[in-house]
Amino acid sequence: MTATATATAVPVRDREPAGLRVRRMSGQVGWGVLAWVVGIAFFLPVLWMVLTAFKPESAAQTWPPKFVFSPTLAQFRLVFSGWGPYVTHSLIATTVSTVLVLLLGVPAAYALSVHPVPHWRDGLFFFISTKMLPIVAAIGPLYVIALKTHLLDSIWVLIILYTAMNLPLAIWLIRSFMLEVPKEMLEAAELDGAGRIREIGEVILPVISPGLVSTALICVIFAWNELFLALNLTVTNAATMPMFLISSVPQEGLYLAHLSAAATVASVPVILVGWIAQRSLVRGLSMGAIK
């Protein structure tokens, strides 16, 4: 009797947790499956863009849409034959403005964090408030200013404006990295008699260099993607990749595959950068608020 009692008791005690575990595990699998479904659904348009880019034009406009086709690089060849000036302008505007942002932003962030100026808080909020002023509101006068200073349709007008566009974000972000530099390191440098410039160059910059890289990446993303200013202030001499995309939609004729190839080529650099730098992306987009 006792033997049977224990014999049954043990499995009973064992079965419950096992049942729970199964339920928990199936629950986990359920969540996982749901997450995968949602993730793929969200990714679908990107996948469709890339797939369409490899189609011949005739296979891109069929009903029902084709999922199996013989891939071709023809659309990409077409894109690469026409994108020369656009990609050059985009590269110049993006790199030069990002370098300028860092050159202006590092000292400014320093003056707002390590050895703060009086009223540094007002300074910080002045910079962020400029992000809230809609640049679109000044577009007419900007056009006139650019016209009168002979900057219209030159790469410099984009460099100047992209620098101003990204500078506030960069200052907030770089500042958040500078605040993490250990106080002891700064004090040690001071005891060594290091001046301001040596302090920045030899103590702060080496410590925050990963932060500077992620700041630069964020600036690159925003400058590379910018359309409004480019469209309003440039025509041919400084037209950028987003404008190349707009121009890849013809008035008539088949274009979906060509458009998809152009969109893929224009987006891939930023997508890759973003995939690699996922962590710093969050910090950068929240202007350093989230570490």
For other proteins, the binding residues in 247-286 under the rule CB under 8 A are: 248-249, 255-256, 259-260, 262-264, 266-267, 270-271, 273-275, 278, 281-282, 285-286
Question: Which residue's CB is nearer to other proteins, number 18 or number 271?
Answer: 271
> What does the H/E/C string look like for 178-208?
HCCCCHHHHHHHHHCCCCHHHHHHHHHHHHH
Nearer to other proteins, 10 or 31 (CB): 31
Give the Cα separation of 47 and 263 in Å (integer): 12
Report which DSSP code applies to 246.
Answer: H
214-233 positions binding other proteins, by CB under 8 A: 221, 224-225, 227-228, 231-232
Q: How many residues bind other proteins (CB under 8 A)?
A: 109
Residue 86 CB, shortest distance to other proteins, in Å, is 12
In whole angstroms, what is the distance from residue 155 CA to residue 240 CA? Answer: 9
Shortest distance, position 108 Cβ to other proteins, whole Å: 4
CB of 132 to other proteins, least distance (A): 4
Q: Is the dihedral of CA 112, 117, 122, 126 positive or negative?
A: negative
d(CA 275, CA 291): 18
Binding segment (CB under 8 A) for other proteins, from list 14-22, 36-44, 76-84, 91-99: 36-44
155 binds other proteins (CB under 8 A): no
Return the residue of 87, 168, 181, 238 that touches other proteins, per CB under 8 A: 168
**Hey, which residues between 184 and 203 contact other proteins (CB under 8 A)?**
196
> HSE (CB half, 13 Å, CA atoms) of 229?
26
Residues 79, 87, 93, 171: which binds other proteins (CB under 8 A)? 171
Position among 22, 26, 31, 198 found at the interface with other proteins (CB under 8 A)? 31
Amino acid (1-letter code) at residue 56: P
Q: Which of 74, 91, 92, 111 binds other proteins (CB under 8 A)?
A: 111
CA-based end-to-end distance of the chain: 63
The region of 7-15, 70-78, 122-130, 208-216 touching other proteins under the rule CB under 8 A is 122-130
Contact pick of 8, 58, 129, 236 for other proteins (by CB under 8 A) = 129
Is the alpha carbon torsion for 280, 281, 282, 284 positive or negative? Answer: positive
The beta strands (E) that lie in 96-224 are given as none
Minimum CB separation of residue 81 from other proteins in Å reads 19
Instruction: Give Dmax over CA atoms of the chain in angstroms.
Output: 104
Return the closest-CA partner of residue 108 out of 182, 188, 163: 163
